[in-house]
């Protein structure tokens, strides 16, 4: 049974998925699908692109599209994953921190 918190999280992720897909389309990037990846530690989405429709697709174009919708900090890998010959996949971590971890000083 879904609790109010679970229901809110599901609606929130669907809204983020739709927002990402619209932003990519507005920048001329044809996105096949956007899915939330189940992970208790991070908020991650997997984006798939048809490789025939996106011959000039780059990581930079996707970064610019995501930056334009103010989803906060995010982390994108340097390369696409090719899980099949027809599709390119990119896993994005939302809410990623960009600063380095500070280790406690040894005494």
The strand ranges marked E within 1-107 are 33-37, 43-50, 74-75, 87-94
Beta bridge partner(s), residue 49: 88
Give the pLDDT score at 1: 47
pTM here? 0.69
Confidence of residue 45 (pLDDT cuts 50, 70, 90): confident
Query: Would 11 be classed as within a structural domain?
Result: yes
Query: Would 83 be classed as within a structural domain?
Result: yes
Residue 68 reports pLDDT greater than 80: yes
Confidence of residue 105 (pLDDT cuts 50, 70, 90): low
Residue 102 reports pLDDT greater than 60: no
Average pLDDT of the chain to the nearest whole number:
77
pLDDT by residue (tens digit) across 69-91?
877 788 888 888 876 778 888 88
**CATH number for the domain including 73?**
3.30.980
Give the pLDDT score at 103: 55
Number of domains in the chain: 1
The parent domain of residue 50 ranges over 4-94
Q: Minimal CA–CA distance to 29: which of 67, 56, 2, 69?
A: 56
d(CA 101, CA 21): 32
Query: Would 58 be classed as within a structural domain?
Result: yes
């Amino acid at each position: 049974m879904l609790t109010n918190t679970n229901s809110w999280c599901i609606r929130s992720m669907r809204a983020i998925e739709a927002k990402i897909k619209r932003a990519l389309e507005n920048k001329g990037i044809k996105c096949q699908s956007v899915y939330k990846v189940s992970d208790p530690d991070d908020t991650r989405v997997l984006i798939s692109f048809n490789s025939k429709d996106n011959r000039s697709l780059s990581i930079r174009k996707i970064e610019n599209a995501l930056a334009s919708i103010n989803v906060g900090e995010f982390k994108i890998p340097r390369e696409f994953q090719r899980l099949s010959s027809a599709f390119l996949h990119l896993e994005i971590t939302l809410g990623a921190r960009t600063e380095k971890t500070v280790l406690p000083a040894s005494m």
